[in-house]
Amino acid sequence: MKLGPIVSPWQKQHGARIGRRGFIGTTLAATALAAVHPGRTWATASGSAPIPNQLAALSTAGRPMTLSATDIKDLRSGLHGSLLLAQDAGYDSARRMWNRSFDRHPALIARCADAADVVRAVNFARAHDLRTAVRAGGHSVSGQSVCDGGLVIDVSQLRAISVDAQRQVARAQSGVLLGELDRATQAAGLATTLGTVTDTGIAGLTLGGGMGRLMRKHGLACDNLRSVDVVTADGKLRHASVNENPDLFWALRGGGGNFGVATSFEYRLHPLAHRVLTGERVYPFSQARAVFAAAAELADRAPDDLTLGAAVFNSVDKDHPGQFAIWSVDYCGDPRDGERLLEPLRKLGTPLLDTINAVSYLEAQGAAGAATIAVPSPAGGFVKSGFMRGVTPDMMDELLRRFVMLPPSMNCSAGLSQMGGAVARVSPEGTAFWNRHAGFDFLINGDWTERAQDQRNMQAIRDMWSGLEKFSEGYYVNTEPSEDEHRLRATYGNNYPRLVQLKNRYDPTNLFRLNANIKPTAAA
């Protein structure tokens, strides 16, 4: 389950939540861009700034370069959507990411209106060897959905959804957000595995694997894919499924954004019209060992309908400050059966707070209200994570010792979210998503509102993870996309050589590199 980050009910009230994917990138690209930035002669005219004779940009390798006015005009005139430059109306809002720790300034933003626009934008990026980022929901905690000095291919306007209730299939374009797809499928009494932060885009989530409340019952989001339409680096729009481009389809299920820009997804749906059991129970921090042990013991014999998590949490909420222990649950079967299954956890005693309740699936997903929009977080944040097999005394010793050393001025959770079930019944070689053996996903998640605290808090989280990483076994593409060779091989496991071969075929120049990057042989 994607319970991570597990947060206290007080933190939820204030919206201080950072998603799974986290990796603070380098500022070298911004420095290089500043070094070559020419004087601007911008002026507003008819909603768009005049195009300069030369526009400073960065190549895929981060080298300074320039784009001519002729090239930019050609791209703009060929789009059905819009092309934004720095002083165009809408540029600032289009470049903003959910994680406000990043303040990046692309040279160009192509707001695509259809798949043909994506093709044109990819061809432009390849022809000019231009640094390229792909933005869908903009929820990338790592900041890689927007780049300094390059081209952002923005598919957020591709929002069409269709649901075939009889066939139990949904088709959704790549700009769709989780809450939008949840509402469309639930209207027919159906659902598929998606994440738990409702304004996340389906594209990045699904391509990286896609953990969510239903994964132990129905598999990862990528396990529920029937097909993907994707524009590869050669500018071709390809349909990938088990019958058409099957090698590409295999890679797209867990390989992240390495192989192209997805324009639409087709998902397998499952009946889900009843209420589900969801929520958390909060205990004093002194009970942390007991909370983790009890949750892990129950998880060992849990049916697929049940997903458990456990975490320690530091709250800076003025009404509820301090450190706490939390266990959390999602049960997608009959809520009465779920309540009976949870009886063993009553041995932990009376909680400080209990939010466990039977609610609609849309309420559990946070998608029951108004139409979903991608709203930037009010906070900055940072995460570190890895997969683990289980809870051990040594791991708990290290977790608690290091947790109490964190700066008390940031919200921070550190804990486990259960995996297994249907996720583990797919062979690691069956899709690009390798780490199916994991019993839990472990996540440290911090957020804060004062930007002056960025470096201190991020280093504190790194220091904490440095003591816990030895208990991990592999990493999740969507949490920390890293180019570190050790992490890449632990992320993709024995699938890595096959992924390199497919990268050689579909993206030999590594155009799509702002991800957990699989380098083609020629670019290695």
CB 233 within 8 A of CB 438: no
Q: How much of the chain is in helix, strand and coil states, percent to nearest 5?
A: 30, 25, 45
Question: What pLDDT sits at residue 452?
Answer: 84
171 touches 159 (CB < 8 A) = no
CATH architecture of 161-272: 2-Layer Sandwich (3.30)
Max CA separation in the chain (angstroms) = 72
DSSP 415-442: EEEE--GGGTTS-TTTSS---TT-SEEE
What pLDDT shows up at residue 450? 84
Domain with CATH 3.40.462.20 in the chain: 9-18+276-359+376-471
Is pLDDT above 80 for 392? yes
Q: What is the DSSP string of 137-154?
A: S---TTSTTS-SSSEEEE
Ranges in the chain annotated CATH 3.30.43.10:
28-98+101-154
Q: Are 226 and 281 in contact (CB under 8 A)?
A: no
pLDDT at 27: 26
How far apart (Å, rounded) are the C-alpha atoms in residues 296 and 384? 21
CA dihedral 7, 360, 292, 416 (to 10 degrees): -60
Q: Which fold is adopted by the domain 9-18+276-359+376-471?
A: Vanillyl-alcohol Oxidase; Chain A, domain 3 (3.40.462)
Q: pLDDT tier at 369 (50, 70, 90 boundaries)?
A: confident
Contact call for residues 67 and 128 (beta carbons, < 8 A): yes
- Report residue 379's pLDDT band, with 50, 70 and 90 as the boundaries: low
Question: Phi first, then psi: what are they for 64, rounded to 5°?
Answer: -60, 140
Q: What are the start and end residues of each CATH 3.30.465.10 domain in the chain? A: 161-272
Mean pLDDT of 290-311: 97
Give me the pLDDT at residue 8, please. Answer: 38
What mean pLDDT value characterizes the chain?
Answer: 88
What's the rounded mean pLDDT across residues 407-427? 95
Question: CB-based contacts of 460: which residues, under 8 Å, 6+ apart?
Answer: 405, 406, 407, 446
Would you identify the CATH topology of the domain 28-98+101-154?
A: 3.30.43
Q: Which residues contact 77 (CB under 8 A, 6 or more apart)?
A: none
Which residue is listed with tokens 């990796």? 23
360 vs 379: which has the higher pLDDT: 360
Closest alpha carbon to 275 in 178, 365, 166, 372? 365
Q: Which residue type sits at 444? A: I
Residue 39 has pLDDT above 80, yes or no: no
Give bridge partners of residue 387 from the DSSP assignment. 441
Q: Is the pLDDT of residue 310 over 70?
A: yes
Q: Taking the model in full, what pTM does it have?
A: 0.89
Tens of pLDDT along 77-86? 999 999 999 9
Residue 424 sits at the vertex; the CA angle it makes with 292 and 413, to the nearest 5 degrees, is 30
The residue written with tokens 């729009």 in the block is: 237
Min mean pLDDT across 44-58, 302-316, 319-333 is at 44-58
How do strand 132-135 and strand 380-388 relate by DSSP bridges?
Answer: unpaired
The pLDDT tens digits for 447-485 are 888 888 888 998 999 999 999 999 999 999 988 777 778
| pLDDT, average across residues 224-228 | 98
d(CA 240, CA 226): 9
Reported confidence tier of residue 523, pLDDT bands at 50, 70, 90? low
Q: How far apart are CA 237 and CA 314, in angstroms?
A: 47
The pLDDT value given to residue 16 = 32
Band (pLDDT 50/70/90 cuts) for residue 382 is: confident
DSSP code per residue over 151-203: EEEE-TT---EEEETTTTEEEEETT-BHHHHHHHHHTTTEE----SSTTSBHH
Lowest mean pLDDT segment, chosen from 13-22, 79-88, 102-111, 128-137: 13-22
> In Å, how far are 146, 180, 275, 306, 317 from 6, measured between CA atoms?
27, 23, 21, 16, 16
Say if residue 311's pLDDT is above 60: yes
| % of the chain surpassing 70 pLDDT | 87
Q: What whole-number distance in Å separates Cα of residue 407 and Cα of residue 413?
A: 12
31-35, 39-43, 356-360 — most confident range: 356-360
- The amino acid sitting at 310 is A
Looking at the chain, the whole-number percentage of residues with pLDDT higher than 90 is 76
Q: Which two tokens stand for residue 221?
A: 């989001």
pLDDT of res. 226: 98
Please compute the mean of the pLDDT values over residues 146-152 and round it to a whole number: 96
What would the pLDDT profile of 476-511 be if each residue is shown by its tens digit?
998 877 777 888 999 999 999 999 999 999 999 999
Compute the distance between CA of residue 208 and CA of residue 254 in angstroms, rounded to an integer.
Answer: 4
- Residue 140 binned pLDDT confidence (cut-offs 50, 70, 90): confident
Cα(12)–Cα(29) distance, integer angstroms: 35
Summarize the confidence of residues 263-280 as an average pLDDT.
Answer: 98
